[in-house]
Structure 1
Amino acid sequence: MTLDESKLSHRFTEHGGVRLHYVEAGDGPLVVLLHGFPEIWYSWRHQIPALVEAGYRVIAPDMRGYNLSDKPEGVAAYAIAELTADVAALIQASGAERAAAVVGHDWGGGVAWGFAARYPALLERLVVLNCPHPERLVAGFRTARQLRKSWYMFFFQLPKLPELAAQKDDFAWLRAAVKDDPRRPGAVSDEDLAHYVKAWSEPGALTAMINYYRALFRPGSLGELGRQPRIDVPVQVIWGEHDRYLGSELAAPDPALVPNARVARIPDASHFVHYDRPEKVNQLLLEFLR
């Protein structure tokens, strides 16, 4: 489905002194869409119209540090506690008692897992695209295979150099990730890419985006991730099997921690599964929400 941006409302809300930008469309039960790195709200361009047509109200924020949302200074501002509190603030600002679903991809998926663990009363269902449950991610870091795939996470721990690499040659590295990684030809057009490049050009954006990874590796953070409380809400994991960054063995969460999870593996899709197979992702999403 084609996104008609003229039908979107651009709104702002403030939480803890941080102003968050989000787009909103539709009426009905609330669905919150959380983008990943290095994306923005626009990464859900295929899902927003499908959800609205199916009778849902959609909120898709620029997560803190991204695009038109504020970019607070310091690594601590991007700890998972801060990121999940932003989602709670968005739901409360919407006037809804809870979200029918929180949907997250990549880093948005990490925030979605954390949100479900911390704020179970504020959502009914959880959908995660190509992001392992935190316990599985920590386990993955103990394997050579996942360490090779995650090399960039460790590179991001360096000061300043990651930002210089990311902005080199007009964001060539980030542009390649968004446009060339998807397996479907033409999944990301030049017009689509322009939305991202504009967002990456915002002052302070690159540091803020990379600070997500720096916060993840602060002392104690990984240990905390490995001790997640049980998530009892129904969970749908959607996983593109051709993921350059995360091994497919990480897709299924531990049933002891996530007892009501099901996993849909899509063999001909990349890490950006919602770009490669938008119709299939929309089908799975809507079937799960019904």
Structure 2
Amino acid sequence: PAGGAVGISTRKATRPMKYETGSEAPNSASAERATDAGAAVARTAVAAGPHVHTALTAGPHGGEKVLLLHGFPQFADSWTEQLTSLARAGYRALAVDQRGYARGARPGRVADYAVDRLVADALAFSQALGSGPFHLVGHDWGGLVAWAFATEHPELLASLTVLSTPHPQAIAAALRSDPGQARRSAYVQRFRRPEGVAEADLLADGAAALRRVYGDFLPPGRVDSYVDRFAEPGALTAALNWYRALPESLTLPGGRIRVPTLYLWGDQDGALGRTAAEGTGAWIDAHYRFEVLNGAGHWLPDGHADRVDPHLLAHLADHAAG
């Protein structure tokens, strides 16, 4: 696991369980105190052990802390809209290019991308924000890291928010009981093929296969930016190593969650189906809200920010850090 020096430098660039569903975003007390002051997103560097991660940050230094973890195949940029919304609401937010996605954090061994290493990185990122409890937000693979982090370090969290990705145990149960989820998850084995094989397929013909992963849910300019960065030597291999580091069972750590949790899922998600999404609540031993975004696909942070952000701000306001 990552250890050692942790730093950040910046330059411009338990309540009773509550289970809710719905598609309309609530009003947020945080949003009502929104201000443009300090809402600009700045480029940042975060040290985690021997690695240096590029990142984005926004908001006043005295604000409650929010750490955002992206998924595959995306970068910290996927949280740009959330960073702005959080900053306007008075939060100090940090979104990091995770292990393998940042040029300065790209170890060569597949074993270096095991989930315990990713959780240790998230711990280092949170320490860069400062001491005290913080709000953790994750999407896709970042959501899996967030579930594992909340299982191991609940005492550090004011709240947890996960977009798209069900609890790991709910995914495992769905894979056993729902043939549809097994079909949806078939891509994982394609991504786990030996180094060079999966990369060649995804980047061939102008990265046509990689572009198809995003579907039509993201702005073309954002997709172009992602593809350009994955075309850098070693970048796509490092990102795919997250999949290659999975155990043969494809199971991931994740236990009982004892912090207030918001889970957002789009009912048009092509990778993660309803069975696992609806099964997630069984693993939450705290205040829990499950919001279904009707008509939304997998790419919630940058594809549906207008629907995600009000839910996120309301959740954070309801569970302010002590």
What is the TM-score with the length of structure 2 in the denominator? 0.80
The CA deviation string for residues 151-202 of structure 1, in whole angstroms up to 9 with x for no partner, is: 1101122213111111112221222222x242xxxx4132x22321232022
Counterpart in the other structure of 2:96: 61
Q: CA deviation at 1:207?
A: 1.0
Among 147, 156, 180, the alignment partner of 1:122 is 156
Q: Percent identity?
A: 37
SS at match of 1:208: helix
Q: 1:64 to 1:162 in 2, by over 3 A?
A: same
1:244 aligns with 2:277: no
Number of equivalenced pairs: 275
Q: How does 1:1-290 map to 2 (within 5 A)?
A: 6=13, 7-27=40-60, 28-99=63-134, 101-142=135-176, 143-159=178-194, 160-178=196-214, 180-182=215-217, 187-190=218-221, 192-216=222-246, 218-219=247-248, 222=251, 225=253, 228-260=254-286, 261-290=288-317
- The answer to which of 66-75 and 35-44 deviates more is 66-75
Q: 1:36 to 1:141 in 2, by over 3 A?
A: same
For 1:126, the aligned partner's letter is: L
Distance 1:24 1:40 in 2: 13
Distance 1:11 1:46 in 2: 17
Distance 1:214 1:61 in 2: 21
- Unmatched tracts of structure 2, length 5 or more: 1-11, 14-39, 318-322
Q: 1:67 to 1:171 in 2, by over 3 A?
A: farther
Q: CA deviation at 1:277?
A: 2.6
Kindly indicate whether structure 1 or structure 2 has the higher relative contact order, using CA contacts under 8 Å at least 6 residues apart: 2
SS at match of 2:228: helix
Higher alpha-carbon Rg = 2
- The answer to which of 194-203 and 124-133 deviates more is 194-203
Q: CA deviation at 1:135?
A: 0.2
The CA deviation string for residues 244-278 of structure 1, in whole angstroms up to 9 with x for no partner, is: 11112211345453122220001110011233432
Counterpart in the other structure of 2:32: none
- The answer to which of 17-26 and 49-58 deviates more is 17-26
Distance 1:255 1:263 in 2: 8
Q: CA deviation at 1:213?
A: 1.0
- The answer to which of 137-146 and 236-245 deviates more is 137-146
Distance 1:70 1:150 in 2: 28
Q: 1:181 to 1:132 in 2, by over 3 A?
A: farther
Q: CA RMSD for the aligned pairs? A: 1.8
Distance 1:254 1:282 in 2: 21
Distance 2:278 2:53 in 1: 32
